[in-house]
Structure 1
């Protein structure tokens, strides 16, 4: 019996040249920010020095959720409240400018005394959001970098 290798060879070539065309396109920064999954404060630095110990305990358990589809968000203050009169949740509206990397929020979502201007995106992945903001205190302005994680 004769075995023809030609059809087998053609099948191997065709199957080997297939690629995974079904993979999703890379997400934009705004889509990663607005994943709908809550972000939680992980670290804060100024001039490469950790300042997380200066953040009030009641802020450390806050959860911040950005929703990409309607550019709304929600801050849940968690179990530890800074004030008894503070609402458990607060809605906000946000926008992101890809060109300037400015993350604009209509309410204070990170309570940093002396903070000025928009949050600026340093980096974002599916698990980590790093933003910065200028903070003025005692006549000095310092760039504070805040890392949030899922």
Structure 2
């Protein structure tokens, strides 16, 4: 059973935003509300497509979107990713849609 995002994400995580750069780097910004004052405001990582652009591999530290994700939609205005993962024996899914800010 998938854990609903409202149970998985803390309120301080819900205002985070992601930027995917054309040089295959990515930046995660904690947004206006950081979970802890000592947390960094931004963290950097990388992204890459698989050979037929059906999966996106993300290397983003401390992010729920870390590893391989299926691309459900990719257009000039939308990136929709889906991933099933297990962390410390707990299974969860991430279903995330990104749009330009």
Give the shorter-chain TM-score range.
0.7 to 0.9
Name the CA distance, whole Å, in 2 between partners of 1:73 and 1:137: 22
Query: 1:97 maps to what in 2?
Result: 50
Asked whether 1:64 is paired with 2:18, we answer yes
TM-score calculated relative to the size of structure 2 = 0.75
1:88-121: per-residue Cα shift (whole Å, max 9, x none)? 0111121112426221122236337xx7x41221
For structure 1, list consecutive stretches of 5 or more residues without a partner in the other structure. 1-45
User: Once the 2 structures are TM-superposed, how far is the Cα of residue 80 of structure 1 from its aligned partner?
Assistant: 0.7
Q: Which has the larger radius of gyration?
A: 1
Query: 2:36 maps to what in 1?
Result: 83
* Structure ranking higher in strand proportion: 2
The higher-RCO structure (CA 8 Å, 6+ apart) is: 1
Query: 2:4 maps to what in 1?
Result: 51
Of 134, 137, 140, 2:84 maps to 134
Q: Are the aligned partners of 2:20 and 2:26 in contact in 1 as well (CA < 8 Å)?
A: yes
TM-score calculated relative to the size of structure 1 = 0.53
Mark the CA change 1:83 to 1:111 in structure 2 (over 3 Å): closer, same or farther.
farther
Of 84, 87, 111, 2:64 maps to 111
Q: Are the aligned partners of 1:63 and 1:77 in contact in 2 as well (CA < 8 Å)?
A: yes
Q: Are the aligned partners of 2:70 and 2:81 in contact in 1 as well (CA < 8 Å)?
A: yes
Mark the CA change 1:147 to 1:93 in structure 2 (over 3 Å): closer, same or farther.
same
Name the CA distance, whole Å, in 2 between partners of 1:84 and 1:123: 35
Name the CA distance, whole Å, in 1 between partners of 2:21 and 2:48: 10
What RMSD, in angstroms, separates the aligned Cα atoms of the two structures? Answer: 2.7
For structure 2, list consecutive stretches of 5 or more residues without a partner in the other structure. none
